[in-house]
């Protein structure tokens, strides 16, 4: 079925087109004003942070020479002259292995602490407000303080070594994963938990058999992601 669309006359279109042009011009002025303000804020931030474009231009050669150094052995020869030494340097691989072990031990320990703290920090699993308050504030402290600060404290206490790094990363990981685990626990289906409670089950039984089966897959997923990111940061 064919329908005819009536086209307004020029007299009727004129005010509409004029209003459209004014709205488009106002929109362009807003974009220009916003862009100008962002540019001014960026320039002031660069001045405050002492960002110097001249330094970038003068030192750009150090960045490009990095790739040249990658292709040079410690002896000064090129890597293709001794590929075995370049690729199978056991000393370098052993340092990377130690770094990976530190990352995985710290992440595993931090994830275990976060799993233990998730239930007491959850509003639907812990009824005592003071317990939730203490656990939540502790997790916030662990994830708010940078891990480098923890590392400095533990280095002063235990000296340089893997132990200080493991402890620092464990606390920071526990705080970060604890927040994620708590949010997961607060979104579970409470019917299994209430069913165990109605049969006289203890609080630990409610968490173990009512809540843990629902969140275990998410906890494992978050822990694996945190482990990979922590290992990448350490490298």
Domain CATH code at residue 196: 1.10.3720.10
Task: Tell whether 127 and 167 lie within a shared domain.
Answer: yes
pLDDT in tens, 139-170: 888 888 888 888 888 888 887 777 888 888 88
pLDDT in tens, 117-132: 888 888 888 888 888 8
Task: Tell whether 74 and 94 lie within a shared domain.
Answer: no
Joined together, the tokens standing for residue 85 give 């030494």
Residue 6 in domain = no
Task: Tell whether 65 and 141 lie within a shared domain.
Answer: no
Task: Tell whether 137 and 37 lie within a shared domain.
Answer: no
Task: Tell whether 142 and 225 lie within a shared domain.
Answer: yes
Residue 226 in domain = yes
Task: Tell whether 33 and 131 lie within a shared domain.
Answer: no
Task: Tell whether 222 and 152 lie within a shared domain.
Answer: yes
Give percent of the chain with pLDDT exceeding 70.
85
Residue 1 in domain = no
Residue 52 in domain = no
Is the model's pTM score more than 0.75? Answer: no
Q: With a cut of 60, say whether residue 233 has pLDDT above it.
A: no
Note the pLDDT of residue 32.
92
Task: Tell whether 102 and 211 lie within a shared domain.
Answer: yes
Task: Tell whether 72 and 121 lie within a shared domain.
Answer: no
Task: Tell whether 131 and 158 lie within a shared domain.
Answer: yes
Note the pLDDT of residue 3.
65
pLDDT, the chain, mean: 80
Task: Tell whether 202 and 141 lie within a shared domain.
Answer: yes
The count of structural domains within the chain is 3
pLDDT in tens, 188-219: 888 888 888 888 888 888 888 888 888 887 77
Q: In terms of residue numbers, what domain contains 68?
A: 58-86
- For residues 55 and 114, which has the higher predicted lDDT (pLDDT)? 114
Task: Tell whether 33 and 80 lie within a shared domain.
Answer: no
Going by pLDDT thresholds of 50, 70 and 90, the confidence category of residue 52 is confident
């Amino acid at each position: 079925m064919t329908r005819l669309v009536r086209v307004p006359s020029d007299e009727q279109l004129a005010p509409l087109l004029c209003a459209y042009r004014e709205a488009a011009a106002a929109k362009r002025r807003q974009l220009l004003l916003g862009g100008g303000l962002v540019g001014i804020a960026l320039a002031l931030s660069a001045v405050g942070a002492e960002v110097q474009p001249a330094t970038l231009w003068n030192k750009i050669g150090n960045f490009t020479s990095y790739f040249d150094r990658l292709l040079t052995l410690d002896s000064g020869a090129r890597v293709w002259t001794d590929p075995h030494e370049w690729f199978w340097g056991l000393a370098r691989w052993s340092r990377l292995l130690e770094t990976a072990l530190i990352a995985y031990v710290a992440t595993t320990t931090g994830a275990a602490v976060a799993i233990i703290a998730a239930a007491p920090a959850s509003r639907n699993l812990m009824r005592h407000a003071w317990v939730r308050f203490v656990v939540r504030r502790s997790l916030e402290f662990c994830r708010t303080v940078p891990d480098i600060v923890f590392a400095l404290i533990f280095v002063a206490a235990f000296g340089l070594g893997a132990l200080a790094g493991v402890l620092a990363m464990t606390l920071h990981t526990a705080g970060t994963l604890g927040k994620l685990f708590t949010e997961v626990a607060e979104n579970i289906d409470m019917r299994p938990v209430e069913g165990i409670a109605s049969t006289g089950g203890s609080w630990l039984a409610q968490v173990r058999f009512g809540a843990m089966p629902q969140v275990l897959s998410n906890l494992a997923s978050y822990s694996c992601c945190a482990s990979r990111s922590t290992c990448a940061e350490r490298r």
